[in-house]
Every structure is written in structure tokens, then in C-alpha cells.
Structure 1
Amino acid sequence: MSGGRAVRRQRQDVADKPFIVIWESTRACPLACLHCRAEAVPDRDPRELDTDAAKDLMGQVAAFGQPAPLFVITGGDPFQRPDLLELVAHGKEAGVRVAVSPSGTPTLTPERLRAVDEAGAVGLSLSLDGSTAALHDGFRGVPGVFRWTLDAWDAARELGMKVQINTTVTRRNLDDLPDVVRLVHDHGAMLWSAFFLVPTGRGKVLGALTAGETEDVLNFVYDVGLTVPAKTTEAHHFRRVALQRRILADLGEDHEEALRLGPLYRRLRDRIGELGLDTGERRVRRPPLDVNAGRGFVFVSHTGTVHPSGFLPLGAGSVRERPLTDIYRSSELFTGLRDADRLGGRCGSCEFRQVCGGSRSRAYGVTGDPYAEEPWCGYVPGSFPRQRELAALLSGGATGKADGAPSPARTAR
């Protein structure tokens, strides 16, 4: 096998400490996004964690030990909270790295972004769901969001902030994904995350992708990893794809034929060629990180309830009543989700289950069972023809622990 890693393992013991903690600071948001998990509303909920409770939550995150998990303040729109800057500054004092994931609204002024940066935020996460105003504004439900987002993106970059761009993958924008990548390439970003829709909140009414379409998009995301730093969210089988593609490349085999990719993949690749993004200087591909709901990832709602993911609405307790460290380490829900042997269906018998595990959020959203098989994966366990090479790769030949600080992750908005 060639050098480098196909998948990154988490540096810390995932049973002891999460890689990232997402806090839904509020559900207040002026947008009306078609996919919104939070079903955001115009006004703040009086049950939200207040300033003191939010600072206490940061203390609970710090209690996991140094380096503390990355703490992402999301929503709704966190700029609807007047204490946002105070909380970012408090996180820095408490030894907790804080990233902010705001909505694309007129609140994203250069002055406010500068204030967030000066308060100590380590990064910014923005959503871009189309390469045009018609596509993005239509998805977000408010005219002007596309322009506000681009302006905020450029302003943050000028300030030297690390920016992550998140794109929700739905039927509405499948063929537009290469053009979104072009914007990421041209404007510059630390990371592009393709978020695969989970049928929860308003997202229940949006059409599902087929397993074949999902496979085509995952392979496309893998390809553009040589053009922009790319990852997926709620598409954990991307790690399977990374392993398969690594083996096929080492053997000089045609991945399109070997993996039986479909016409969507070919259209996406052709469009990348038309945009001139498949030539020129190539970057080093960023290996996907092995993180899943409850396994390195934890979500705290605006009222303080703790969930394995913002898209998995099963609660394991409240930070008002029980320390987050205790909930993450010992609650039945979290310990169960970290046990790959509890997975059912094809996921339970899959040779990739230890490094993939499928979207537990989507499994629950579709079937009501968080341990059910991944609905958007069509892989038949054992069908990959290079099992010997795969076994060698999974044994550690091209996997390793994550290095460096985590980036601002996909928000649970």
C-alpha cells in the first residue's frame, strides 16, 4: 500500500472524551430553511440556557480535560443572543476552543465578525446550498441570503478567520454541487462539508436520495478532495468509499467500473472538468475522520438536553441536572451507540462497521431504530472484491490518529 492514511482515527479515547461538542444556543432565526432540524422560530425561547448556564456548560466541556473538545455555538442563529461575544471570550478563558456557526443574515456584518474574531473564536462555519442566489435563497426561504453569505465569507477571510462551508445535499442541488465547489475554490475555505440530509424537522418533506445517487455523490466528494479540502456530514459511509478508492488506486483499477458508479457521478465529474477544476496544482487529500453520533460527537440543545447528534432526537439527560462528562461517558444511549456489535441489518454484518457505522440519525429518522441499517447505503457486506487488501488496510496500515485541532464542524441547524 502507498504511504499516508485513508481514514483518521480520533486522537482521544472516544469512550472518555468527545472530539466535538455542538451547542444549539438558540432556535431563534430569521430564515425559513427547507431542511431545518430545529424548525427555527423568530423569537428566543425563555427556556434557553442563560448566560450563567451557558458558562457552566463550557466548564463541563473543559472538565473532559485538555485539550478540551471543540465547542461550536450554533442555532438557530447565535447572533440572536446578545451575550455571544461574552460567551466566546469566556470559552477562551476556560481553555475551550470556540467556533461560531451563524445564519446568513444581515447580522453578519464585518464589524460583528471582527468582534467575534477578537473575542477569541477559532473559526466560522457558514452554509451555502447553491452556487446561485436562486438556488440558495430558495432553499433558505429569504431573498438576499446568498449575497449576505458571500459577503460574510469574504469579510471573514480578510480578517484571517478559518472558514468552513457547509452544503446540504438534496435533490434540488445535486447537479449544482460542482459549481458550489468552484465557489469554495475561488473564495477559499479551510474545509467544505457536504451534509447529507437527515429526515427530521422540516427536512422530512424533502425527497430522499437513492443509495446509488448517494454513492455517486460520495465518490464525487472524494474526487474533489484534491481540489478543495472536503468532508461529509451524516454520510459516514464516505469512510468506506475512501478505503475502497485507496485500494483500487493502489492496484491501478478503474474505480468507476469496479464500484459500478452511475450517471450522476459521470455528470458531476464532467462538470468539474468544464469548470477547469480537475487540472493544475493538486492538494493533498484530507483523510476523513472516524466520528459518529455519540462516538466523538455530542449535541446540547437550547434547553440543555443532551443528544448523540442534533439530528438524533433521543435524549440522554440534561446538563442542568447531570454533568456532560457523565452523560457522555456512561449513559446507556451513548455507550450503546459506541458498540458496533449492536448495529442491525447490513450495518451489523458489514466489514466496514468499525470505521463507518452508518448514520444513526438517518436510521432513526427513517425506521425509528437508531441501531438499524443505514437507509442511504446500498453496499452489500462482503461484496468488495479486494477483501485481503482491505483487511490489511483496516489493520492499521493506512489509518492513524487525528492530528491537529479539530475544525468547525457541520452545525446541527
Structure 2
Amino acid sequence: MFRISQYMRELAHAEQTGHYPEVRERKARGPVVIWNLIRRCNLTCKHCYALSADHDYVGELTLPEVFTVMDDLKGFGVPALILSGGEPLLRPDIFEISAQARKLGFYTGLSTNGTLIDRPLAQRIAQEGFDYVGISLDGLKPTHDKFRRLDGAFDRSLAAVRFLAEFGVKVGLRFTMTAMNAHDLPNLLQLMKDEGANKFYFSHLNYAGRGNIHRDKDAHHLATRDAMNLLFDRAWADAQAGCMDDYVSGNNDADGPFLLHWVRQHLPQWESALTERLTRWGGNASGQMVANIDNLGHVHPDTMWWHHDLGCVRDRPFSAIWNDTSDPLMAGLKQHPRPVQGRCAGCKYLAICNGNTRVRAQQLTGNPWFEDPGCYLTDDEVGAASTPLEVPAKTKAFNSIRRSKEAENA
């Protein structure tokens, strides 16, 4: 996750005081865990990385198993759990799980499509004390309903935002941009303000799940640059006004170097200080400080790596799986610098973006260390030339036997 507003507030402080603030971040021992507790969902969204459907899936972790895993995560130093799905609110014991998470001291977030949240459920969510609830919106009503394949989905999700705000829950909007919905971004940012949402999460489309199937409809690089410039401008205006709303982005760590280009144009006196700050941030954290556990208990480097299985928490504790570098992918993800190739290897921003999102290269070429095809900076901007893209004929997006069998049973 790239915390746009955090850096903009630091820049605003620098402008006001004449010096860039000293920021000391507490480093957690363990990663943030995004936990897909259930695969069932009442929607079948076009860009779903879990390929969810509205039926039960056999073999999902039981409540006692979930609690056992949570104890291990706590001992391992995991600071935060993001409870996701599918649709996590379809899991009957979701509030027992969230209560245990809060009892153990985890920062606890809920990632939901919002369509199931009426006023009583919003009140229950507020009582449970979630630190944050993220609701996905893919655009305004016509766009969102088309993406979600359900007429009325937008109205129900927007009602959920309002119900949660009514009960004082910190709520944010989550938006995955493609060429089919990029036009709605300005209106969604205005909607965020109008509805009093506290956070806007902008996700670049990653090549996984249905996002991989529809990658030919991913937003072009110029549209991505326009979107990021819009987010930077909005976050900078808020920072200058003292507004504490948050704009964050994910799934494309080129956002860090691109912010440097924005600063070079608008606040050149702080480019050096921000470069140092972003280098400490360190870019892509897949396999390092971001982890995923799926509904069957299988561990992945992040949510976009569902086709790469590191092991199951039923067989080994998460802590043992996460520290095991016998898996070549994990060994490379934890390496500094990562063994990236092509223009990523020669990029002057490698220390900032950490090679960006490796899954895109793997999905398109079969080689996880090839240059990231989703990087939207030009060769001149990164100081390295692109390598011709050669896609092996037998490359498949989903080559896991277990995942193939799940797809057949879906």
C-alpha cells in the first residue's frame, strides 16, 4: 500500500516549517495478513481475484482452526488482520472471529462489497469495534452495477457507507481502475467527500483471478498517470487544508517514483528529502510485510498470488511457512535487491519500488523476475530500456493443480 496522503502531509509540514519532518516508523516483526475467510460471495465481480460464486466451498477453515492460526499470528508479531472473502459477512461466525482478533490486539479491518449491510448490521459492525471497513465501488451506478453483475448493487453499497458513517465507523471506498471505469474516478472522489468517507483506496488492476482474464481491458499507462496525478492533486489540496482524509494506492509500486516526478514539478526543493523517505518505505512488500491466507488455509505471498501455494496452516504454522525460503519465489521476494531482470534491473528507482508487483510479470511471461509490464513510467524516466516481451506459448495464468480443481468445482 502506498500512503499518498501521509507523504503529502509530510510535504505540507515541510512547506510550513522549512524542514522535512523526522518520521520514525515502528517496524512490525510480522506481515499484515489479508485473510480470505470465506470464498462464497453474493456477487460475481468481473475483476475478482478469488473467482468467487454464491455457493459454499468445501474444506474452509473451521472456527477453532481460525483461532489456532490467530494465536500463531499474534506470537509471530503480525500487527493487522484484514478480514476478507468472498464476502466475509456471509460467514456466520465472522463476529466471533473479529472479537477474538480485537481481544488479541490486532488492528482489524473488514473488506466487504457492502450490499448486505443494512442499518442493524451497520450498528453491529460498529459495536464490534472494527478499526476500518472498506467498501468496494467500481464507479457510479451504471458502471458499478455492470461490474458487479447486479442491478441495484451501487445503491445498496452506498447505503452501507451511509449506515456505517451514521454509527461512527471509519469507512473508506475501494476502487479498482480499468479502461472501462477510469472515467468515473473524479466523480467517485467527489462522492467520497459528499458522503464523508474517510479513505479512498485506489487499486491498479493486477493480473490475477478475473483481473487476469480481463487484463486486455486494463487501463492504459497514460490513463494511469492521469489518475495518479488527480489523486496527488487532491491529496495535496487536503494536506494544505489540514484535512485528515486518506488517499492510498495499491498493486503498483511505481506510484512512489511517480510521486517523486510530481514533487520535482511542484515542490522541487523537497525531492531529495522525499527520495530518502521513499527509500525507507521500500516499495513492494509481497512475501515480506504483506501476506495472504485463503479460505482453505493456504498461504500466499499476497492476494494476487493465489496460484502459488506456499503451504497450508493445517500442516505447518503460518510462522514456519512465512520464514521458509526453500521456495524459490519466496527466496527471491525476500532478497534485497530482488533478482529482477530487464529494465527493472537497471531502473534507478529499484530501491524505492523494490521491483514492483512481480505477479504481473509471472502471469504474462511465466517468469516472476521479468520487468513489470504494469510499470507506467517511461524508459527515460527510469533510466533503463525495456526488454522485448516474449511470452512462452505454454504460459498459463493458473497452473496450480489445486486451483484448477477448485475452478472445476465452482
In the superposition, the TM-score normalised over structure 1's length comes to 0.77
Q: State the superposition RMSD in angstroms.
A: 2.5
Using the TM superposition, name which of 205-214 and 292-301 deviates more: 205-214
Kindly indicate whether structure 1 or structure 2 has the higher relative contact order, using CA contacts under 8 Å at least 6 residues apart.
Answer: 1
Query: Kindly, what percent of the aligned residue pairs are identical?
Result: 28
Q: Secondary structure at the match of 1:101?
A: strand
CA contact (8 A) 1:212 1:378 kept: yes
How far did 1:99 drift?
1.3
Relative to its length, the structure with more helix (as a share) is 2
> 1:36 maps to what in 2?
48
Q: How many Å apart are 1:26 and its aligned residue? A: 0.9
> What SS class does the counterpart of residue 151 from structure 2 fall into?
coil
* Structure 1 partner of 2:169: 161
Instruction: Choose which of 66, 86, 93 in structure 1 pairs with 2:103.
Output: 93
Paired with 1:289 and 1:119, the residues of 2 have a C-alpha distance of 34
Are 2:284 and 2:356, in contact at CA under 8 Å, matched by a contact in 1?
no
CA displacement, residues 178-213 of structure 1 (integer Å, 9 cap, x when unaligned): 001000111122221111111222221251233333
Matches within 5 A, 1:1-400: 2=14, 3-4=19-20, 11-12=26-27, 16-18=29-31, 20-65=32-77, 68-105=78-115, 107-131=116-140, 133-203=141-211, 204-206=213-215, 207-226=217-236, 227=238, 229-251=246-268, 290-312=283-305, 313-331=307-325, 332=327, 333-339=329-335, 340-356=337-353, 357-380=355-378, 383=381
Q: Is the 8 A contact 2:182 2:223 kept in 1?
A: no
Describe the shift of the 1:168–1:381 C-alpha distance in structure 2 as closer, same or farther (beyond 3 A). Answer: same
Deviation at 1:9, TM superposition (A): 8.6
Shift of 1:86: 0.6
- Unaligned ranges ≥5, structure 2: 1-10, 239-244, 271-279, 384-410
Alpha-carbon separation, structure 2, partners of 1:109 and 1:369: 45
Deviations 1:267-289 (A, max 9, x none): xxxxxxxxxxxxxxxxxxxx988
Segment of structure 1 superposing worse, 33-42 or 373-382: 373-382
Q: Does the residue aligned with 2:296 lie in a helix, a strand or coil? A: coil
Give deviations 1:28-87, integer Å, cap 9, x for gaps: 11111111111111112121111111111211221123xx42101100101111101111
Q: Given residue 41 of structure 2, which amino acid in structure 1 is its aligned partner? A: C
Paired with 1:223 and 1:242, the residues of 2 have a C-alpha distance of 11
Report if the CA contact (8 A) 1:214-1:377 is conserved: no
- CA deviations on 1:162-182 (whole Å, 9 max, x unpaired) are 112110101111121100100
Shift of 1:380: 4.6
Q: How many residues align?
A: 344
- TM-score normalized by the length of structure 2: 0.78
User: Structure 1: 5+ residue runs without aligned partners?
Assistant: 254-286, 386-413
Is this contact kept in 2: 1:37–1:200, CA < 8 A? yes
Cα pair 2:256 2:283 within 8 Å, conserved: yes
- Pairwise CA distance, 1:146: 0.5
Contact 2:46 2:148 survives alignment (8 Å): yes
